[in-house]
Structure 1
Amino acid sequence: MAKDRLVVYLLQDLKVSSDNPTIYAILYHTSIHIQNCVHFENSKFLIHFKQLIHEIADSELDIRFLALLINLLRCFTIAQFFLDINTIGVILSRSFHAQLHGATLLKILSTGLNHKDCCRNLKSHHIQILIDHLSGCMDKDLMIELFRIINSVHYPESNTYPFESSFDVKVFLLQNILCYQELEEDLLLELIIFTGIIAINHESAVFFYKEGAVNIFIAILREKQEDDEFVLQIIYIFYLLLYHSATKDSIIYDSQIPSYINELMNDPNMLISSYSNEALNLLFCLDSDYANQIVNERFNWYNFQWLDSIAEQDK
């Protein structure tokens, strides 16, 4: 194809410098389709791009070059090669000190770290850098990418609080969630995902419950009930609140959460249905009245499914 030949030609003529804005712009547009990224897998081009990230002055970073990198790092093999431990550290450092393109630099990281295997190079000290920059972060775009990186990491499913910080991360989350109507949807979703990570810890779950976050999550669930990602993340938080011994009774007897979970047990989204049923399994073990209700609801659902299949066969 002509486009393929153009990409190869431009890459062959690409100088090891930062003065190629037109070439970067063309390469960016051709890399929008991920299948074209295969042309960039030649390591010499990636080494060149990595050198630019490491060595070029902040004032000379071209937004078209950074946008090209974001597109390229959607490809796993490129992200795996590009995001070594050292480069991750350099990008983090530049993101928080650059007067321009800080959020775009973090976007490069968040895109590459979407690949599960690439997260292995994101170490605890990198996470700590991200956490420590939360308190003074006023740039919403920067904060969104910051949370996307933090939320991309697989944390051990233990009751150990995974973050140490000079400020209280829980308070920061609560303050933002309480004014959720003022937040952009992307940022709100990342905050909720991060709350789920924090709420694995027993004390954190108790904190969010006592500070009234449950009512906020219910309000968000009502408003975002058509958005599967919001519903999924909030149901996961409800599951955690049912799991922790200090919050389970209040959630069962003093909130509307069980009824919301019950409504979602047969949601068309398999993940939402799965988490809802996991939460119902906890309810089943914790309260005999709910256990009977859950048995009846599940029987009615399976019976309805069976009758529906019989009706289809009779047509």
Structure 2
Amino acid sequence: MPTKKKLKPGRVEIADDENAIVVLYEIQTTETDDAGNVLKKERTPGTKRVRVKTLSAGSDVPSLALKVIESCKFLADSQVAAVEDALRALQRRELAGGVGAAPRADRDRDALRERYNSSFSGGNAGGNAGLSDDTPASVRNIDDYLEALYDELPEKVKSTAKLAQLSRRVENLEELLAHDSLLGALSRVLKEDGKRSVDLCTNIISVFFSLSNFSQFHPAISEHGMGAKALELVDLEVKRAELREKEHPDFGQVARKMAEGKVLSDQQTKMMAVVRKQDQLLYLCFYLLLNLAEDPAVEKKMKKKNIVVYLVKMLDRHNVELLILAVTFLKKLSIYKENKEKMAECLVVEKLAKFVPCRNEALLIQTLRLLYNLSFDPSLRDVMAKAGLVPTLVELIKVPPYQQVSLSVLYHLSMSDAHKTLFTYTDAVAMIKSMLVQDGDLREVPEVIALAVNLTQAPRIADVMCGDGGAEAITNAAIRNMDSLRFKVVRNLSQGEIAIKRRFKPFIGELVRLLRDESTSGELLVEVLGSLGNLTIPEFGFLDLVREHDLLGFLSHVIGAGAEDDIVLEAVIFAGTICDATTAPLVRLSGLCHDLFRLMSEKKEEDEMVLQIAYAFRRMLPHEDTRMCLLEETQAVLYLVDLLSDKNPAIRNTASECIDVVLDYADPETAERVRRLRFESFNQEWLETTLSEMGPESPMKLDGDRARLMRGDDDVFDDDDGDDGMMMDERRADSAAGWSRNVMWNGDPGVEGEESLDMYGDDMGQLSPDRGDDSPMAGAYVY
């Protein structure tokens, strides 16, 4: 019977445990008879691993993807994009700290374990301390070693050294655990004689440490209280070290000489031999605790016993392996607020600053990761800046293994305006500008664009980045790549002074064409609109572009079609930007003024939208056509008067500017009405009180619209035709009462004596008293 096999390619994933791509496929087997009728069909799933060499930041991913497809028959040519995505994921993982998708803490422990066998040159890292003979340990002699634990101290040291040798081989661990009394005897000896011999402690802790590398043995370790005992040993050794430093003031210099490989005297050599043994014991204790800290409950107990304090103290020592372990452990603990605060109390940043940079790559990368965790705290970011880390981290950007984490720390530092100026005196601006002008997908290195966006908010850095054709090069790259991320930088730069805005004048036409391109994504549309909205260049007119690209129709459609709020907000800003003396008649004919007024009604609870609409009105009011439209065809002025009592100071200021423009250009009758409305808004509470006392027959009347505004009528903002109606915002109506603080009440004229109560606010500018004592308005102040 003929059999046909067909390969059907499937998904492409990355391996969890190695630097490889996993190709999922399916073999479809079909059996047919001689006539071609299908007798049987089978589908057999399968996987194929394609190992990939180390991927650096400069690896050519597209070329590598083609090579992978050529070398693997289970991949189809149509899967190039999927392979590229997988390779980029591997690249990001590699740059983030190593191969394997295991959690960061697991990868850190694996890296420490790889260094373990070569730690502390001399071969004692495994716990052979005090062993004077070279006889290999044997599992057949475990009973003899156990019996020797009851002898004198030297014999105890030798027997524990043999047991430590055995524990270093994984196949011996089950044999050791098979002796029910062994772990109990070791913990007893450690408790009774631990203070008498560092070698004895090292050997016993080494046995439990070997067991701690496997989670299934953690209960046995905890049962014998070795976590608490390890912390007690750490406390003891830390106190011994502090006492030694008091007795030998020059100890720090001796330790540095040894670390630098310089020749020591015999006395200094003996002293450092003791220190080396102590470092070895501390290393094993902390490593044991790091393994046990896989359990959050156990880690919480360690925190209560001040393990953070002990770890920070380790940063003053000079053994590189111990330093790497301490920094790795601190990084694990730093994700909790309580631990981070304790680190800050112990001046951890100042201690870490000396390792940035350092010659040991593992120590440097772990230090940078710890600093990254700590940099989420604003107070610790201030400490990092004061410690001079900004220029050092900028230099580390140039080194691929440290680039990503260095950029991440710098991004956090750039969040503060006080720190941004520190970047001016480094190569950061030049390097970022170089990255921005090169073609490529910046989403692979989001830290670059995040840092660039933060820095370009500083005027001085924006000036530097725009210099030497920087503004033009970045804008060209953004347009060429249709990249919303680069446009975020362009948008920030275009907010600068008029001299910087003029640099973007040659690109306005191209930006408008990009704006009207149907292929422009929503994310890109926001940034392009934002960039155009910033380009208020006095000598540049938008008339030709408005006519050529029907910009007013486009903006009216965006504002009225219920687009996303981000797009609508930028469209509102751009509407104000394009309105000048030449375009104002077209703006009126387009109905854009009505659209903005209606939008203000719909978005009255959103301060940012209200603020930008008020700003657009501010741009339109100086021009006769748009001013007449707003004054005669809408109730915009009445609403602007109401905004004078808004809680948001930016909205109050913008509304006040709008009212000033109306008073400057309006006819006397309109200007008088606006002044009356503004007076009533400022003195609402006083007016209400006075009118109620004077009774309904009082000749004093409020403006009709303003009276309805005070009553909270729903139709305050209704036009004559009812098309542009707007319900009164209760929040804003209530806030209008807040302006009564700007009234100076001089007492009731009908009461003897004068009672003065000063209730005006500090932010209202200069008040001018109305001195007419015979007027029913006596006692009120007008703004």
Q: TM-score, normalised by structure 1?
A: 0.79
Distance 1:18-1:111 versus aligned 2 partners, 3 A rule: farther
Distance 1:18-1:295 versus aligned 2 partners, 3 A rule: same
* CA distance in structure 2 between the partners assigned to 1:103 and 1:244 by the alignment: 34
Larger CA deviation: 232-241 vs 106-115: 232-241
Distance 1:116-1:245 versus aligned 2 partners, 3 A rule: closer
Matching residue of 1:205: 584
Larger CA deviation: 167-176 vs 16-25: 16-25
Distance 1:29-1:277 versus aligned 2 partners, 3 A rule: same
- Compute the displacement of 1:215 (Å): 3.1
2:420 counterpart of 1:41: no
Q: Which runs of 5+ in 1 are unaligned?
A: none
Q: Structure 1 runs of 4+ off > 6 angstroms?
A: 16-19
Aligned Cα RMSD in Å?
3.3
Matching residue of 1:312: 757
Matching residue of 1:10: 393
Which of residues 31, 34, 37 is equivalent to 2:414? 31
> How does 1:92-171 map onto structure 2 within 5 Å?
92-98=475-481, 102-116=483-497, 119-120=500-501, 122-136=503-517, 138-156=520-538, 160-161=541-542, 164=545, 166-171=548-553
- Compute the displacement of 1:217 (Å): 1.7
Q: Kindly indicate whether the alpha-carbon contact (under 8 Å) linking 2:593 and 2:629 is maintained by their aligned counterparts in 1.
A: no
Q: Which has the larger radius of gyration?
A: 2
Higher helix share: 1
* CA distance in structure 2 between the partners assigned to 1:251 and 1:10 by the alignment: 54
* CA distance in structure 1 between the partners assigned to 2:390 and 2:621 by the alignment: 54
Once the two structures are superposed, residues 234-292 of structure 1 have per-residue CA deviations (whole angstroms, 9 ceiling, x without a partner) of: 34544666554445555444433343344345556122122123224434x16x3x344
2:464 counterpart of 1:81: yes
- Compute the displacement of 1:98 (Å): 2.3
Q: Which runs of 5+ in 2 are unaligned?
A: 1-348, 351-383, 687-741, 748-755, 760-783
Q: Kindly indicate whether the alpha-carbon contact (under 8 Å) linking 1:91 and 1:105 is maintained by their aligned counterparts in 2.
A: yes
SS at match of 1:32: coil
- Compute the displacement of 1:128 (Å): 2.1
Kindly tell me the number of residue pairs found equivalent between the two proteins: 304
Once the two structures are superposed, residues 136-195 of structure 1 have per-residue CA deviations (whole angstroms, 9 ceiling, x without a partner) of: 15322222221222222232189x54553752222221221221x2322x3212111111
**Amino acid across the alignment from 2:396:** D
* CA distance in structure 2 between the partners assigned to 1:85 and 1:129 by the alignment: 21
Matching residue of 1:216: 595
Matching residue of 2:559: 177
Which of residues 676, 679, 682 is equivalent to 1:296? 676
SS at match of 1:182: coil
Distance 1:169-1:29 versus aligned 2 partners, 3 A rule: same
What is the percentage of aligned positions where both structures have the same residue?
21
- Compute the displacement of 1:131 (Å): 1.6
* CA distance in structure 1 between the partners assigned to 2:638 and 2:463 by the alignment: 44
* CA distance in structure 1 between the partners assigned to 2:393 and 2:627 by the alignment: 61
Matching residue of 1:279: 662
Q: Kindly indicate whether the alpha-carbon contact (under 8 Å) linking 1:265 and 1:274 is maintained by their aligned counterparts in 2.
A: no
Q: Kindly indicate whether the alpha-carbon contact (under 8 Å) linking 1:264 and 1:276 is maintained by their aligned counterparts in 2.
A: no
Distance 1:245-1:111 versus aligned 2 partners, 3 A rule: closer
Distance 1:82-1:278 versus aligned 2 partners, 3 A rule: same
Distance 1:38-1:236 versus aligned 2 partners, 3 A rule: closer
Q: Kindly indicate whether the alpha-carbon contact (under 8 Å) linking 1:174 and 1:208 is maintained by their aligned counterparts in 2.
A: no
Matching residue of 2:312: none
* CA distance in structure 2 between the partners assigned to 1:120 and 1:96 by the alignment: 17
* CA distance in structure 2 between the partners assigned to 1:313 and 1:113 by the alignment: 45
Q: Kindly indicate whether the alpha-carbon contact (under 8 Å) linking 2:407 and 2:447 is maintained by their aligned counterparts in 1.
A: yes
Larger CA deviation: 236-245 vs 267-276: 236-245
Higher strand share: 2
SS at match of 1:138: coil
Matching residue of 1:234: 613
2:638 counterpart of 1:259: yes
* CA distance in structure 2 between the partners assigned to 1:187 and 1:292 by the alignment: 38
* CA distance in structure 2 between the partners assigned to 1:16 and 1:264 by the alignment: 54
**Amino acid across the alignment from 2:642:** E
